[in-house]
Chain A
Amino acid sequence: MTVNQNELLSALVDGELQGKELDDALQLLQVDEQARMQLQRYQHASDILHGHNLGDQTIDLTTRISTALQNETEFTSATKNKASAQVIAFPKPFWKQAASLAVAASIGALAVIGVMNQPNNQLIPSHQVAAVEIETTPMVVAQAGERWTVKEQEVEERLNSYLVDHNEYAGASGVFSYARVVSYDMGR
C-alpha cells in the first residue's frame, strides 16, 4: 500500500472523493486488507476527536455483517431507479455541509427544500442547484417550518441571534413572542 493510496483513504474519510477516485478507493478496499484497516484507523481517530469513543476498542463489524448479508438479495438497478426517483435534489453545498458537519437534520433538509421551491430565490445560486444530479423532478416537500431556511450553520446562528433580539420588539402578540425562540428546532 503506497502513501498515495493512504491519501485516497484519508480523503474518503472526509467524504471528498468522487468519480474515478472513489471507484479506485472502493476497488482498493475490496482487495487490500491493509487498506481496509488503514481506512478504519483514520476513521477511528476522527471519531475519537469527535468524542465517538469506545476506549481502546477498535471494532470491525464488516466481516460479520457481510456474512450475515450473504444470503440477502442484491438490489437490482430497478430498485435503484425506484429509490433514486425519490432522491431529492439538494444543492451541492448543502450536501457538503451535511456530510462534514453531520448536520442534515431532516427538518433542516425540508427547510432547504422549502427555499428551493420558492421561485426567484436568491439564497442558492442557480448554478449550484444545477450542479446536483437530478434524475427526476424534485419532490415538493412541506413548507419550511420552525427553522431558518438557510444551509449554513453559521448563518443560521446569526439569524437566531437576530431573532432573539428582534423578538423583544415583535408586534402585537407580545405574550407569545418568545415562543418562536423556544420552539426553534436546534437539531444539528
Chain B
Amino acid sequence: MNVDLELVQRVQAGDKKAFDVLIMKYQQRIVHVITGFVHDPVEALDVAQEAFIKAYRAIPNFRGDSAFYTWLYRIAINTSKNHLTSRARRPPAVDVDAMDATNFYDAPELKEFETPETNLMSDELQQAIHQAIQGLPEDTATAIKLREFEGMSYEEIAEVMECPIGTVRSRIFRARDAIDKQIQEIMGEGE
C-alpha cells in the first residue's frame, strides 16, 4: 500500500504521530505553494500551519480518491486564498487547479513572488545537488536519477538496473547521503 495512505489510515485510527511524518514530508512543498500567495515568509508559515491543522481535522473524511498531497495541496490553496481575502488582499488572478499540483511551482505567475535572493540560493543548491550526483559512482547516480527524475519505484529501478531491490535502496540512500553532505556544506552547517 502507498505509504501516505497508510500514514493517513494510522492518523484516522488515532495515531497523531503519523501525522508528524506527513508534515515532515510535505511542509516544504506546502510552504512553497503558500509563499506564492502570501509574500511574507513568516506569514506563510502561519498559513501553512493553519492548512495542516485544517487537514488534520478533515482527515477522517480523506477518502483516498486522490493522492494525499493533491488533497493537502487543495487545502493549502484554499487556506491561502481565505487568508488573503480576510486580509483584504487580492488573490493572484491565476486559477490554480489542484490537478496541476505537481507543476505548480513552476507557474510563471507565481515566480514574481520569489525574491532574487531565494532564487539565487535555490539555483546554488540545485547546482550543488547536480554536482553531487555527478560525482557519484555510476550505479548510484543512475539509481537516484531514475528515482528523482524519472519517478520510478524501487521495483522498477531494480528491473531496469537488473539488480535486487535492496541494492537499489542502498544505492539511493548513498546518493541521498552524498547530496545531503553537499547541501550542508553550502548552507554552512557542514559537519
Q: Taking beta carbons and an 8 Å cutoff, which residues of A are in contact with B?
A: 6-7, 10-18, 22, 26, 29-30, 36, 38-62, 64-66, 68-69, 72, 74-77, 79-80, 82-84, 86-88, 90, 92, 95-107, 109-110, 113, 132-133, 141, 185-188
Contact = CB atoms under 8 A, between A and B. Distances in A.
A87 B67 CA distance: 12
Contact of B53 (A15, A49, A65, A133): A65
23 contacts: A16-B154, A48-B125, A53-B121, A55-B120, A55-B121, A58-B187, A61-B48, A65-B53, A69-B56, A74-B14, A74-B16, A75-B59, A83-B9, A83-B61, A88-B63, A97-B151, A100-B152, A100-B153, A104-B69, A105-B66, A106-B99, A110-B65, A187-B97
Contacts of B129: 45, 48-49
B32 A101 contact: no
A13 B65 contact: no
Contacts of B35: 54
B136 to A, nearest CB: 13
Contacts of A50: 105, 148
A6 B126 contact: no
B20 A29 contact: yes
Contact of A45 (B12, B153, B180): B180
A70 to B, nearest CB: 9
B46 to A, nearest CB: 9
Interface in B27-76: 27-29, 31-32, 35, 41, 45, 48-49, 52-53, 56-57, 59-67, 69-70
B111 to A, nearest CB: 11
Contact of B28 (A11, A54, A88): A54
A56 B169 contact: no
Nearest to A47: B28
Interface of B: 1-6, 9-21, 23-25, 27-29, 31-32, 35, 41, 45, 48-49, 52-53, 56-57, 59-67, 69-70, 97-103, 105-106, 117-122, 125-126, 129, 147-149, 151-155, 169-170, 172-173, 176-177, 179-180, 183-184, 187
Contacts of A41: 180, 183-184
B20 A80 contact: no
Contacts of B41: 54, 57
A79 to B, nearest CB: 5
Contact of A60 (B27, B32, B100): B27
Contacts of A39: 21, 24
